[in-house]
Amino acid sequence: MALFGALLLALLAGAHAELPGCKTRVTSQALELVKQEGLRFLEQELETITIPDLRGREGHFYYNISEVKVTELQLTSSELHFQPEQELVLQISNASLGLRFRRQLLYWFFYDGGYINASAEGVSIRTALQLSRDATGRIKVSNVSCQASVSRMHAAFGGTFKKIYEFLSTFITSGMRFLLNQQICPVLYHAGMVLLNSLLDTVPVRSSVDELVGIDYSLLKDPVASDSNLDMVFRGAFFPLAEGNWSLPNRAVEPQLQDEERMVYVAFSEFFFDSAMESYFRAGALQLSLVGDKVPHDLDMLLRATYFGSIVLLSPAVIDSPLKLELRVLAPPRCTIKPSGTTVSVTASVTIALVPPDQPEVQLSSMTMDARLSAKMALRGKALRTQLDLRRFRIYSNQSALESLALIPLQAPLKTMLQIGVMPMLNERMWRGVQIPLPEGINFVREVVTNHAGFLTIGADLHFAKGLREVIEKNRPADTRDSWAPSAPPPSTTAA
C-alpha cells in the first residue's frame, strides 16, 4: 500500500510539473574552448595569491622572505570535463608556478638582501564546481571543492652569501611550499563562488524585450550533467510587462535535445513563440491603422471604386473625406512547427471607413482576413531573430456569401499592400530579436537551424567576444576580497 501511494504521488508530481519552453545543452565539444579561456583566467587569479612573510633563525643567521608573488603558470597536463550529476571538474597535473620574492639575511653585522626567482614544481590542482538553480531561477555555482598540492620548491640563490642560502634553503623552501599549499584553494574558492557567479549574473532571467513585453528564462530545475554534456531547462515564456504575473499555460510538445556534434544546442517549443504572440496581443500591439496618405494611392482608388455605391449616398461633406483602413488581430496568432517549416496563422478584422474632420467616422465595410505566414528563424550573436513572409491570404464577409464574392477584387490589392506596407514594418521589429540565456561576452557562431515536430533546435559553436577577465572585472562585486575571506573553506588538506 505504501508503494502504491508513493507511485501515485510521483505520477501526480509529474502531471503538474511545468514543461519548459526552452532547453540548452552544452556539449563536451565546448570544453576545450572554455578550458583555454578558463586557464588564462585561473593564471591571473593565482597571481593574486598573497603569501605571508617567512621569518626564521638558524644559529646566528636571521632570514626574512617577503613580497612573494606568483609570476606565471606553466601547464603540462590539464583536463576539463563534466561529472554527473551537477559538476564541472578541472584537473591540472604536474604544473609549475613561477615565483619572485625578496630575501633578507642578517649574520651578526653582515646584511644581504635582494630579489630572487623561484619555482614551485609538481603542482596538482583538482577543483569541481557544483552548478544549481537559485531561488530566482538563475544558474549559480553553489559549491566549490578543491584539492591542491605542491611537490617541491626550487630557488636559485646567488651572491656573496650563496653558500649560506643553500644551507638555509631547506627551511625556506619547505616553509614557502607549505604556505603556497594553504593559499591555492581559497583563491579558487573565491574565483568560483564570487567571480564566476558575477559572470553568471549577466545571464538574463526575467528581463524586458521592449517597452511592451518581457521574457522569463528562469531555470525550472538544477542543471544536469552527464559524462558528455550539461543540460538546462528554462521556462522560456514571454509576458506583457503590464501584466507581470500573467502566464500562458504550456500545452506544447516538450523540446528534445539529442545531438552532441556542436558546442551548444538550444531548443524552442511552439509554446515559446505562442507566448510571445499572445503577450503582444494582450499588450494591444497587434493592430494597425492607415489613414489618408498612409493608404497606398492605388488601393485608395480601388476601395473608393468598390464602395462607390455606398459613398455616393453619403453627405457631400463626407464623400471626399480621408479613407481609413484598420487591421486588428482578433485572437492571438498561433505557431506551428513541422519538419517542413514553421508557419504562423493569423485571423484579423479589416475595417474600411471614411474619416471626415471633426465628425464620427463612417464605416463602409468590415471583413475578416485569414493569413498564413512562413517564419524563418536565425541566431545572430545572442539574438534569436525571425523573418516572416506572407504565404496565404484570403478575405471574406461574416454577413453573407454574396458579399464575400464581391470582396474578391480586393484580395490581390490588399495582399500587395500587406507585403509592401505591413510586412517590412513587422520584420524590422522582429529582426531586432530576443536575447537567449547566455553570459555576457559569449556569442554563437556557425548556427544550424533544424525543425522537428512541435519544436526547433539550433546547433552552434561558441565564440568569446570578450575575455572572462574583462567581463568579470566589469561585473565584479565591490570589496570582494575582504568579504569572502571569513567564509572561505579551509585550505587543501593535501600534505605539504
Strands (E), 292-382: 323-329, 334-338, 341-354, 362-380
Cβ atoms < 10 Å from Cβ of 277:
22
- Residue showing cell 496618405: 293
Q: Place 11 in a pLDDT band, splitting at 50, 70 and 90.
A: very low
3-state secondary structure of 308: helix
Under the banding of pLDDT at 50, 70 and 90, the label for residue 167 is low
Phi, psi of 117 (to 5 degrees): -95, 145
Section 66-95 average pLDDT: 85
- The tens digit of pLDDT for each residue in 405-457 reads 767 777 787 788 788 878 888 888 888 888 888 888 888 989 999 999 999 99
**pLDDT of res. 168:** 57
Interval 35-60 mean pLDDT: 79
Cβ–Cβ under 8 Å, residues 267 and 456: yes
Q: How confident is the model at residue 71 (pLDDT cuts 50, 70, 90)?
A: confident
Separation in Å, CA 429 to CA 34, 210, 385, 387, 432: 34, 10, 10, 10, 6
For residue 118, what pLDDT band results from cuts at 50, 70 and 90? confident
Query: Which triple of cell numbers denotes residue 22?
Result: 526552452
Closest-CA residue to 490 (of 152, 148, 174, 198): 148
Q: Which CATH architecture has domain 28-201?
A: Super Roll (3.15)
Which pLDDT score is estimated for 7? 44
3-state secondary structure of 128: strand
Mean pLDDT in residue range 192-201: 90
Share of the chain above pLDDT 70, in %: 84
Domain boundaries defined on the chain: 28-201, 206-464
Nearest to 91 by CA among 44, 26, 146: 146
Q: Give pLDDT tens digits for 353-386.
A: 888 887 888 888 788 889 999 999 988 888 899 9
Angle, alpha carbons 245-375-294 (nearest 5°): 85
Q: How far, CA to CA in Å, does 327 sit from each of 31, 312, 322, 346, 486? A: 50, 25, 17, 11, 63
The CATH class for the domain spanning 206-464 reads alpha beta
Q: Per-residue pLDDT tens for 202-253?
A: 888 898 998 999 999 999 999 999 989 999 999 999 999 998 778 888 888 9
Beta carbons within 8 Å of 369's beta carbon, 6+ residues apart: 327, 346, 347, 348, 349, 350, 393, 394, 395, 414
374 compared with 52, residue with greater pLDDT: 374
Which has the higher per-residue pLDDT, 69 or 56?
A: 69
Cα 312 from chain centroid? 60
Could you report the per-residue pLDDT of 484-495, keeping only the tens digit for each? 444 445 445 443
Q: Give 482's pLDDT tier (boundaries 50, 70, 90).
A: very low
pTM score, two decimals?
0.82
Task: Please list, in sequence order, all residues whose beta carbon lies within 8 angstroms of the beta carbon of residue 45, skipping any fewer than 6 positions away.
Answer: 187, 188, 190, 191, 195
Element (H, E) at 414: helix 408-417
Cell representation of residue 165? 642560502
Mean pLDDT, residues 101-108: 73
Phi, psi of 29 (to 5 degrees): -65, -25
DSSP 387-413: EEEEEEEEEE-SS-HHHHHHTHHHHHH
**Could you tell me how far CA 334 lies from the centroid of its own chain?**
25
Grid look-up 607549505 returns: 178
pLDDT above 90 coverage of the chain, percent: 27
With cell 563562488, the residue in question is 193
Q: What is the pLDDT of residues 293-350, one digit of tens each?
A: 887 777 778 778 777 777 766 777 777 788 888 889 999 999 999 999 999 999 998 8
Q: What is the pLDDT of residue 374?
A: 93
Q: Three cell numbers at 185?
A: 584553494
Q: What is the pLDDT of residue 494?
A: 40
Asked if 71 and 96 touch (Cβ cutoff 8 Å), the reply is no
- 80 and 31 in contact (C-beta within 8 Å)? yes
